[in-house]
Amino acid sequence: MVATTETINQVKTTTDKYKYGFSTEIEVDKAPKGLNEDIIRFISKKKDEPKWMLDWRLEAFKKWKRMEKPNWAKVSFPDIDFQDIYYYAAPKSKKKLNSLDEVDPELLKTYEKLGIPLNEQKMLAGVAVDAVFDSVSVATTFREKLSEVGVIFCPISEAIKNHPDLVKKYIGSVVPVTDNYYTALNSAVFTDGSFVYIPKGVKCPMELSTYFRINEKNTGQFERTLIVVEDEGYVSYLEGCTAPQRDENQLHAAVVELVAMNKSQIKYSTVQNWYPGDEQGKGGIYNFVTKRGKCLGENSKISWTQVETGSSITWKYPSCILMGDNSIGEFYSVAITNNAQQADTGTKMIHIGKNTKSTIISKGISAGKSQNTYRGQVQIQKSAKNARNFTQCDSLLIGDTCSAHTVPYINQHVSNAKVEHEATTSKISEDQLFYCMQRGLDAEQATSIIVNGFCKEVMKELPMEFAVEAQKLIGISLEGSVG
Amino acid sequence: MPILEIKNAELSIDNKKILKRLSLNVNEGETHAIMGPNGSGKSTLSYMLAGRDGYELDNGSITFDNIDLTQLSPDERSNLGLFLAFQYPVELPGVSSTNFLREIFNSRKKHLGEIELSHLDFIKHLRKVAENLSIKDEMLKRYVNFGFSGGEKKRFEILQMALLNPKISVLDETDSGLDVDALKIVSEGVNNLKNKNNAVVVITHYQRLLDYIKPDIVHIMSDGKIIKSGDADLALYVEKNGYSEILNEKN
Ligand SMILES: Nc1ncnc2c1ncn2[C@@H]1O[C@H](COP(=O)(O)OP(=O)(O)O)[C@@H](O)[C@H]1O
Ligand SMILES: [Mg+2]
């Protein structure tokens, strides 16, 4: 599908370039700035957590203090002062919310502006939403319907209390606390996120969706998501992100863990449009995220699909550990950078089981003065007889001041494995632009159409309702990049 | 009523003069044919009209309905009603033909202040128009011009022309690569769109197209200018004797 005329309207009517750049005036409850053991105790207490969770956090904090920030990514930014961040902020609410009617109307208005399907009509569309506002989930719809089939879909803070065995068993099992600097930090201070559990043989009857949003000034958002799918289960999970426009930078360091058992399937889709900063590169989100899935069972499958248009800096490598024999890992990515944005993104496919297969399709689009790097690792371990990987990495440049880089790492320890890598870099073609414009489309419409075509292979992996939004975003993100 | 007036157009590419004081007037209701040897500047003329980057005039003027075209971008020219069927249509990988056509169709509607068609209504409309050009649904599901045969590409150009209903259409060697049947279909398509308020300029090497699309005026172009104009018989003359005599006569 190409960008609709609606897209173009939207671009035209967006006087303020970042459509989601409003912030909400509501009372918040927050911990003092800075990071120390007391703050962690405060968070844990606010969440009414059991002791094992607090201990786990404190342990992570200890380790984090001894760790160094990674500096291998092709991004640059001033040092982050971790003592200058609020680690806990929650909308003030007196009691537990039982229905949407009890949610702060201001908050609902915000969601409305974001276009989140929280209301009745939208519920008919079949999307269950666990909306995370700063640190606390304020509304969860559809939970009942899901629980009928045994699906658990709730804020992780609730899962810690209500399903401690499951959480204890799997948290940190895919992404170890000390995996990297930001995972250790997240493990110490995570405040919310989603938990999904699909029991044996259950195909989740609807797409599950969470919208994350950073609202409070100077708040780091550290969400933690854990999805476990038992044998022959299936789930499609959608994650969308926006953040208000602010002059200062904000940190987002999330951890997402997926576990897939025998013959199960997890499809995880993200549309990320955090505030990218202004044209000069002032402000914007630092998006340092660790996402990893483990195909623990045989014949299991994990697919990551991402459309990354926002954030001033993106540092993100959704990965798959293919342990079960015949398991499959997929990574489909569109990363768009414009103006001063920097993105260093890609994936890791770790082949351990026999006959494991992975596919990587990455489409990078750079405009303005932006930097866009694909960094991918394909590792075929000794046990992974007959493993297969196919990687295709295409970069599209718009203008002369941006750049694209491809950094593939391939470690192959098995002789009969097959690893294929294809990479192309092209400039948006003047022929194509002229052809479209001759038909009456303006430079932005034309670019949007060509770019959407370039991303086709990835876009078709997105669930329908997301695909439309993603197309619009592509149009919006490239605004001002041509003509 | 003149639609298009080109006066003493001069254009160079890489410091090489390609168009040399070329003048051409096209009135409403007229069909013109431009013939001429390879490299005489026919495609350059069409790009210049459509406003392609790098094809700006050094001297001279072009007006369309008395509007100065030289200051307008390709899309603005298109929206005035100027259409160019490309000699070499451009492939748009990943862009579905149907969606592309809907996009340009609705964009034009919107520009004209008319109501855009819903997806379903557009598909119905498109089917009808495509059928007249013997274009199958299957082709519309493919990416724009991607892997199309030469003939399919040319038919797809005329399909776009039919959807946009331009005031003046320049068809650059639309007949090349078409077999006799396809040539007939395409010509009929063009003839069906022709009325007393619009105009067509066909660029061709061959008389056979002009058997179907009857020109009112035939121009012979050589070395960046029009060296002779005449009625339909001029094309027959060229077909029989080649360009050389006309060229010699000029020198
Ligand atoms: N982009 C270009 N760069 C350099 N020379 C060009 C370019 N386009 C056309 N020309 C030259 O301009 C002249 C006219 O070409 P063209 O307009 O394609 O002729 P025709 O369509 O009549 O065959 C030729 O000599 C050709 O080599
Ligand atoms: Mg030519």
On chain B, the residues whose CB falls within 8 A of the CB of A438 are 50, 74-75, 78, 83-84, 86
The region that residue B139 occupies, defined by phi over 0 for left and psi between -120 and 50 for alpha, beta otherwise, is alpha
Task: Give me the residue from A8, A432, A443 closest to B92, CB to CB.
Answer: A432
Is B100's CB within 8 Å of A2's CB?
yes
Instruction: Establish if A448 touches chain B: CB-CB under 8 angstroms.
Output: no
Q: What does R_g of chain B's alpha carbons equal in angstroms?
A: 18
pLDDT at A106 over 80: no
Count CB neighbours of A153 within 10 A: 28
Is B50's CB within 8 Å of A438's CB?
yes
How far is residue A208 CA from its own chain's centroid?
Answer: 14
Between residues A194 and A466, the one the model is more confident about: A194
Task: Give me the residue from A5, A435, A454 closest to B116, CB to CB.
Answer: A5
Cα A266 to Cα A260, A345, A392, A458, B155: the distances in Å are: 7, 21, 22, 17, 44
Check which CATH number belongs to the domain holding B131 and give it. 3.40.50.300
pLDDT at A123 over 50: no
Give the confidence band of A11 by pLDDT, cuts at 50, 70, 90: very low
Cβ B18 under 6 angstroms from ligand 1? yes
- Are the C-beta atoms of residues B201 and B18 closer than 8 Å to each other? no
User: For residue A8, what is the nearest residue in chain B, using CA coordinates?
Assistant: B107
Q: Give pLDDT tens digits for A281-291.
A: 677 777 888 99
Between residues A422 and B142, the one the model is more confident about: B142
A145 CA from centroid of ligand 1 (Å): 67
User: For residue B143, what is the nearest residue in chain A, using CA coordinates?
Assistant: A453
Between residues A103 and A250, the one the model is more confident about: A250
Q: Give pLDDT tens digits for A135-159.
A: 454 445 566 678 889 999 888 888 9
Structure tokens at B214: 């009857």
Cβ B224 under 6 angstroms from ligand 1? no
pLDDT at B207 over 90: no
pLDDT at A71 over 90: no
Alpha-carbon gap, residue B137 to B135, rounded angstroms: 7
Torsion angle (degrees, nearest 10) of CA A43, A48, A53, A56: 20
Give the confidence band of B161 by pLDDT, cuts at 50, 70, 90: very high
Structure tokens at A21: 């750049």
Q: How many domains does chain B have?
A: 1
Buried b / exposed e over A216-236, threshold 16 CB at 10 Å, is bebbbbbbbbbbbbbbbbbbb
- Residue A121: predicted pLDDT: 35
**In ligand 1, which atom is closest to the CA atom of B173?**
21
Q: In the predicted model, what is the mean pLDDT of chain B? A: 92
Cα B156 to Cα A195, A476, B4, B136, B153: the distances in Å are: 51, 30, 25, 11, 5
Strands A127-133 and A89-91: unpaired
pLDDT at B87 over 80: yes
How many Cα atoms within 13 Å fall on the side-chain side of residue A411? 9
Domain span at residue B8? Answer: 2-250
Give the confidence band of A15 by pLDDT, cuts at 50, 70, 90: very low
Count CB neighbours of A395 within 10 A: 24
User: A272 phi and psi, to 5 degrees?
Assistant: -110, 115
A142, A250, A135: which is closest to A193 by C-alpha? A135
A41, A34, A27, A54: which is closest to A136 by C-alpha? A27
Structure tokens at A356: 């494991």
Please tell me the distance in Å from B24's CA to the nearest CA on chain A: 21
- Residue A8: predicted pLDDT: 36
Is A434's CB within 8 Å of B90's CB?
yes
Q: What is the pTM of this model?
A: 0.79
Count CB neighbours of A134 within 10 A: 25
Strands B2-13 and B59-64: antiparallel
Cα A198 to Cα A152, A161, A266, A323: the distances in Å are: 7, 18, 10, 20
Alpha-carbon gap, residue B162 to B158, rounded angstroms: 6
Lowest mean pLDDT among A79-88, A303-312, B55-64: A79-88
Please tell me the distance in Å from B87's CA to the nearest CA on chain A: 12
Is B94's CB within 8 Å of A454's CB?
yes
A34, A71, A210, A59: which is closest to A127 by C-alpha? A210
Mutate to test the interface with B, among A5, A392, A439 (most CBs of B within 10 A): A439
For A410-472, the DSSP string reads EEE--TT-EEEEEEEEEEPPHHHHHHHHHTT--HHHHHHHHHHHHTHHHHTTS-HHHHHHHHH
